[in-house]
Amino acid sequence: MQSRTPASRTGRPRSAAADAAILAATRQALVELGWSGLTLGDVATRAGVAKTTLYRRWAGKHELVVDAVAELFDELELPDRGSLGADVEGVVLQFAAILARPEARSGLMAVVAESTRDDALRERIRDSIVERQKRLVVAGRRRAQKRGELPPESDPEASARAIDLIFDIVAGAVVHRTLVSAEPADADWVRRFVAVLLNGLAAAEG
C-alpha cells in the first residue's frame, strides 16, 4: 500500500505527528467551513503548525484534501463473515458509512469535480484512493478462492481486469447511491445490491 502522504522532500525530516494533525485539521475544516471556505492558512492554524510546514508537504489545497479523504478510506477493512456475499456486504456498509460523513462527502465531491480540469489531480485520486482500496477486492477474491466460492486464478492479466471491474462496479454504485442520488445505502439496499453483484440482474427483484 502506498504512503498516506506525499513523498518526502529533501531537507528537514517529516513528522508523522504533524502530518496526522494537518490531515485531521483538514477534515475538521471541511466539516465546519466546507470546500469553498477551507484555506491552507486555516488548516495550519488548526493543526498548530507553521504554514510553511504545510506547504513543504502539500503543493496546494487539492492535494491536501485528497490525502485527508484518502486516510478515511484507509479505515476500510475486509470482515470475515463466513461467505463472499456477507464479506462484501460488510465492506459496502463500511464504505457507505464513510461516505455519509460530511468531511468525506464534501472533500470527495469537490476534488472529483476539480479533477475534471486537472489531470494530475485525477491521477492523485487514482493513486491515493482508488488503487489503495483495490486491496480489499484482492483480499476478498483470495479468501473466496480458498473457500471454494470462486475458481483459482489462472491468467494474471484477466485477474487484474476483473479486480478493476469489481472495484468500479462496487465503488460506482455506492458513490452514486449516497452522493448523487442522496439515498441511504442501508442494510436492505446493500443486501439487494450484493445479490445483483453476485447473481446477476435476475436477483434484482429479490
CATH 1.10.10.60 maps onto the chain at 16-58
3-class DSSP state of 7: coil
CA distance 74 to 82: 23
CA-wise closest residue to 108 among 136, 72, 55: 72
Q: Record the cell numbers describing residue 160, joined without a space.
A: 487484474
Containing 97, the helix (H) or strand (E) segment is helix 84-99
pLDDT of residue 206: 61
The CATH architecture to which 69-205 belongs is Orthogonal Bundle (1.10)
The residues, any chain, with a CB within 8 Å of residue 95's CB and separated by 6 or more, are: 73, 76, 170, 171, 174, 185
pLDDT of residue 1: 40
Output DSSP code: residue 200. -
Weakly modelled stretches of the chain, pLDDT under 70: 1-14, 205-206
pTM: 0.86
CATH 1.10.357.10 maps onto the chain at 69-205
Fold (topology level) of 16-58: Arc Repressor Mutant, subunit A (1.10.10)
